Amino acid sequence: MTEVQKKALESLKSIDREVYLLSHIGAALGWDQETYMPEEAVDERSEQGALLSSLGHSRVASDGLAEALEALGAGDFLLTEQGWAQAENSLAPGLTETDRALIRHVYRAHKRATCLPDSLVRELSQTTSKAQTVWAKARKQDDFESFRPYLEKIIDLKRQEAEAVGYGDHPYDALLDTYEPGMKTAEVQQVFDALGAELVPLVQAIKDAPQVDDSFLEKHYPVAGQEAFGYEVLNAMGYDLTRGRMDVTAHPFTTTLGTKDVRITTRYAENFFKTGIFSIIHEGGHALYEQGFSPEIAGTSLADGTSLGIHESQSRTWENMIGRSRPFWDHFLPRLASRFPENLKDVSSEAFYRGINKVEPSLIRVEADEVTYSLHVMLRFNLETRLITGEIAVKDLPELWRQESRRLLGIEPAKDADGVLQDVHWSFGLFGYFPTYALGNIIGAQFFQVMEQQLPDLQNMISRGDFAPILQWLRDAIHQYGSAKTAGELIRRITGGGLDSRPFMEYLRTKYRDVYRLSL
């Protein structure tokens, strides 16, 4: 490596570090806004967020970064999996594997940033910051019309973003690429069509079977007891509370405010126990990923989930394949019953297991069972792709939501708070984000299948509450790499193949044959 290239690498790392720090400052402001910020502070907070977004964008799009990337030999070959194969020979000599991965990651971000005008970045940040507060109030008051103008503005800005970035077949491709790099709308549609064709008959078979009893979950569970139990579970999972914390918010999320500051949030329902605990386990799964990055990539932009599908695979694995398993509650039910003896004194471990796995089409995605969950994702995917193309209008969303809910789930919301207003994502401008939830189900099942093969005592580990070997497997196979490996690379490395929905459907059929005594 020449002296010029060494200086270029130092410059790239310096700029990347600044962007990394700015993103965490923004995360701190966002966390505060969603948890403790007073309502009247939203206007100035939106200006603060816009300024930070602009500062980060200007550094990623800077001429200095462009010059450093050019000196290091970066080019468009870094944007594809095929091109990456030639990176070692095309980039500057003497780079470590981590350096090459960082250059690839930074080049991709730089390429996108140079397409986006700073004015658009600022306007998006400012608009979405205000929209989040409006959405929260609109949902509480079941008032879609108050949120509608903000959503119309956001969609207009996201269309501008898609046009600025460019796309081949569908404008949604440019937005999807932010969260699932390299994936196309047509690919998602193909996967969802195949998955839906199998899910709908499974849901019908369950619907025709005698329903399981979960009435014990709808008794009164005071929040203080739920919170204490949640901390007990998080501790067992391996979430490090010296590097994180848990708070309450309207919509649960995980956010990273620093290398050693990964926070989660949840929400509780005192008369529906599942709401709180499964949000905690889900967000805990996200946080374990963020806490598990290798020290080699810590403090760089590689210390991030490589795609939201991979990120979601971690949260859904902990929430469902572990957290809703029979051995998990063989271990934890006695501990839960000691906190809520009146509610659970006559509930066996088997009855509890079947109850927490009750399948019933519901209105709220975050409270959906794991069989119908992906149908909620498909519902929103079907609507937001058409919103981006202009095929449907925002004013028609409430009715279109009801129609899609009837078609996919067989039910429809009586109020918009339980329908089109239920999730925060559109107020954040996160178009392209939602498909990753269902992709996470698929990827998680693929990874879990391999983990079961490599940890033959897995189920006994769970029943003993011994999650350390499980977390270590995830750290070794997935977490440590962050964005140093792409989603496709991780899937191939772990499974030997590509994205495949068959393990997920096999898992669902096997589990729910047992829960519902089906003859599938």
Q: Binding-site residues for Zn(2+), please?
A: 282, 286, 312
Using DSSP's 3-state secondary structure scheme, residue 139 falls into helix
Using DSSP's 3-state secondary structure scheme, residue 263 falls into strand
* Residues facing 258 on adjacent strands: 261
Using DSSP's 3-state secondary structure scheme, residue 463 falls into helix
Cα distance between residue 288 and residue 305, in whole Å: 11
* Residues facing 261 on adjacent strands: 258
Catalytic one of 34, 180, 283, 290: 283
> The tokens of 249 are what?
């918010």
Answer yes or no: 283 catalytic: yes
> The tokens of 371 are what?
């069989």
> The tokens of 22 are what?
């700015």
Q: DSSP letter string over 26-78?
A: HHHHHHHHHHT--GGGHHHHHHHHHHHHHHHHHHHT-HHHHHHHHHTT--GGG
Tell me the Cα Rg of the chain: 23
What are the Cα distances from residue 242, in Å, to 140, 224, 228, 239, 433?
34, 21, 17, 9, 30
Q: Is 482 exposed, middle or buried (0-12, 13-18, 19+ CB in 10 A)?
A: buried
> Is 203 in contact with 371 (CB distance < 8 Å)?
yes
Cα distance between residue 417 and residue 411, in whole Å: 15
Residue type, 389: T
> Is 244 in contact with 291 (CB distance < 8 Å)?
yes
Catalytic amino acids?
283
